[in-house]
Chains A and B, each alone.
Chain A
Amino acid sequence: MDEAILKAENVCYTYEGESSPALKGLSLTIRRGKRIACMGSNGSGKSTFFLCCNGILRPDCGTIYYNGIPLNYSKKGLLSLRSKVGIVFQDPDNQLFSASVAQEISFGPLNLGFSEAETRKKVQDIMDRLLITPFAHKPVHALSGGQKKLTAIADILVMEPELIIFDEPASALDPLHTDLVHDIIGKVTEQGITVLMATHDVNYAYEWADEILIFHEGRLLKGGSPDEIFSDDGLLRTASLKPPLILSILRNPDILNKKGKRCCPISSQ
């Protein structure tokens, strides 16, 4: 299972009207079936890279390979790519366009050419799996933030992609919905779907990911196992990350005793 599903080679991208590029020669490899966390400060190029993976943005230079084949930007090529690579966007309000939950979820499968009967079944299945059915009859604008997020995830899962990209899936969610979303992502990886996730939650990334990619100023600073990444203090400082709580405690148990004086773990020097 070590073959590369997605590979980026020296990818650059500059947004129209911006002076500095968002991606400056990004190279990385995503292996099939892995759980990959993308970390790095805001503006380090994670979201731009995600849009490139799906063919929404076309790199100014460099190449992206999907299953070893360079991306084909013809209409047909893009449709086939997008049926295999799904993105769950950070803000569900930018993703959900329909006023009805079931209609919203049916958009993808119908675009993929499934018949109405098949789509209906798929939509019902995914709504049952993600516990959406209880609010499926509500209009989208009356849903809570967490419910919108679940709907946005169902939008993509129902298309059964090989690679799913989650752009900060737990941002602005309450603890209950965060757990729910993390649970869903866990089940997705068990099905053998490759998951790429942008997150700022070091604790979750440490626990969940097989591999962590550190983005910094439009490049890949380092990729490696969570242990490798979080033991590199210099790297963490450059990427403005902190080590997971559990590692801080293991390295410096004193911070537990200092509770009350200072309850938050400080990055170990």
Chain B
Amino acid sequence: MIIIDRLCYTSGLRYVNAMEKFVFSMLTLLLCVSSRSVTAAVLVLFVTGILTVGKGGIPLSRYIRLMSIPLVFLFLSTAAVLVNISRTPLDAFAIPFGSFYLTGSVKGILRGAQLILTALASVSCLYFLSLSTPLTDILGVLKKLHVPGLIIELMLLIYRYIFITLHTASAILTSQKSRLGNKNLRTARKAFAAMAGSLFILSVRRSCALYDAMEARCYNGRIQVLKEERPARYSEIFCIAGFEVFLFALIVVLKCKNSI
């Protein structure tokens, strides 16, 4: 999470209009998920990968590592689709298990592969957005889309406070370590409990102090801040629109071909 945040500020796409990036990522995500097509998923994976790594300048090894995080969950969840328990063996593989078979069909395996690819492509759309757009810019987009102010303000405060809380936690942990707080399992458990407890108290105290400081600057219940906008470029809008239309057409053509 912190790595993603740090990377997005160095991305080559950071100063591209946030609305463009948001629309691109969301539309592609939507098309990719609704199509359930392997071809579309591979195309999306390819395009977002090129944009994030090639244009954004995110190191390829980093990107692959980030993409592999959801992979574990995906394999675990698609295992249920791949493997069946049945009395009759299916066509792909069958492991006898008493009078039952641990078995799977070719169709099931293909479906599992398609699920994994679609999910990965969707994740890559989200990575594209979060690796190129700082959260404050995304909040600006949400505001334009008339998301309620309360939700946006909450997101802003939560985002800022994730870092403060992590910082506090790591400071406490360091101080515990320097006094042999986790010498063995028993002391480590105790130290962790103490940290969690004091972290809670510190968070409450900090939020009170923050409220005071905001009041001191005439806070009146609405967080108003300047919008930071980059101009949208026609060439970029054109490319995005072109890609989405192409993707949509591709999906439609594939669907028609399959139904024939």
Q: Is the CB of A86 within 8 A of B216?
A: yes
In the complex, the chain B residue whose C-beta lies closest to that of A113 is: B218
A56 touches which one: B160, B215, B223 (CB < 8 A)?
B215
Q: Is the CB of B225 within 8 A of A107?
A: yes
A112 touches which one: B164, B210, B212, B218 (CB < 8 A)?
B218
Range for the number of chain B residues in contact with chain A: 20 to 34
What is the total number of residues of chain A having a CB less than 8 Å from a CB of chain B?
40
Within 8 A of A (CB), among B192-244: 206, 209-210, 212-220, 223-228
Return chain A residues, CB-CB under 8 Å to B159: 99
Q: Is the CB of A116 within 8 A of B218?
A: no
Known contacts A107-B223, A110-B226; A99 and B136 CB within 8 A of each other: yes
Asked if A93 is at the interface (CB within 8 A of a chain B CB), the reply is yes
Asked if A95 is at the interface (CB within 8 A of a chain B CB), the reply is yes
B220 touches which one: A79, A94, A116 (CB < 8 A)?
A79
Return chain B residues, CB-CB under 8 Å to A104: 225
Q: Is the CB of A103 within 8 A of B136?
A: yes
Interface of A is mostly: helix
A116 touches which one: B5, B160, B216, B226 (CB < 8 A)?
B226
The total of interchain contacts (Cβ-Cβ below 8 angstroms) comes to 102
Return chain B residues, CB-CB under 8 Å to A98: 136, 156, 160, 225
CB distance from A176 to the nearest CB of B (A): 23
Q: Is the CB of B225 within 8 A of A103?
A: yes
Q: In the complex the two chains form, what is the Cα distance from A156 to B227 in whole Å?
A: 19
Return chain B residues, CB-CB under 8 Å to A79: 218, 220
* Residues 1-22 of chain B, each 1 if its beta carbon lies under 8 Å from chain A, else 0: 0000110010000000000000
Return chain A residues, CB-CB under 8 Å to B156: 97-99
Asked if A67 is at the interface (CB within 8 A of a chain B CB), the reply is no
CB distance from A247 to the nearest CB of B (A): 35
CB distance from A126 to the nearest CB of B (A): 13
Asked if A71 is at the interface (CB within 8 A of a chain B CB), the reply is no
Asked if A43 is at the interface (CB within 8 A of a chain B CB), the reply is no
Q: Is the CB of A159 within 8 A of B217?
A: yes
Known contacts A95-B210, A98-B136; A87 and B160 CB within 8 A of each other: no
Return chain B residues, CB-CB under 8 Å to A102: 226, 228
Q: List 27 A-B contacts (CB under 8 A).
A: A51-B212, A56-B212, A56-B215, A56-B216, A87-B213, A89-B209, A89-B216, A94-B209, A96-B160, A97-B156, A97-B157, A97-B210, A98-B136, A99-B159, A100-B228, A102-B226, A103-B228, A104-B225, A106-B225, A107-B217, A107-B224, A108-B217, A111-B220, A116-B226, A119-B226, A139-B136, A159-B218
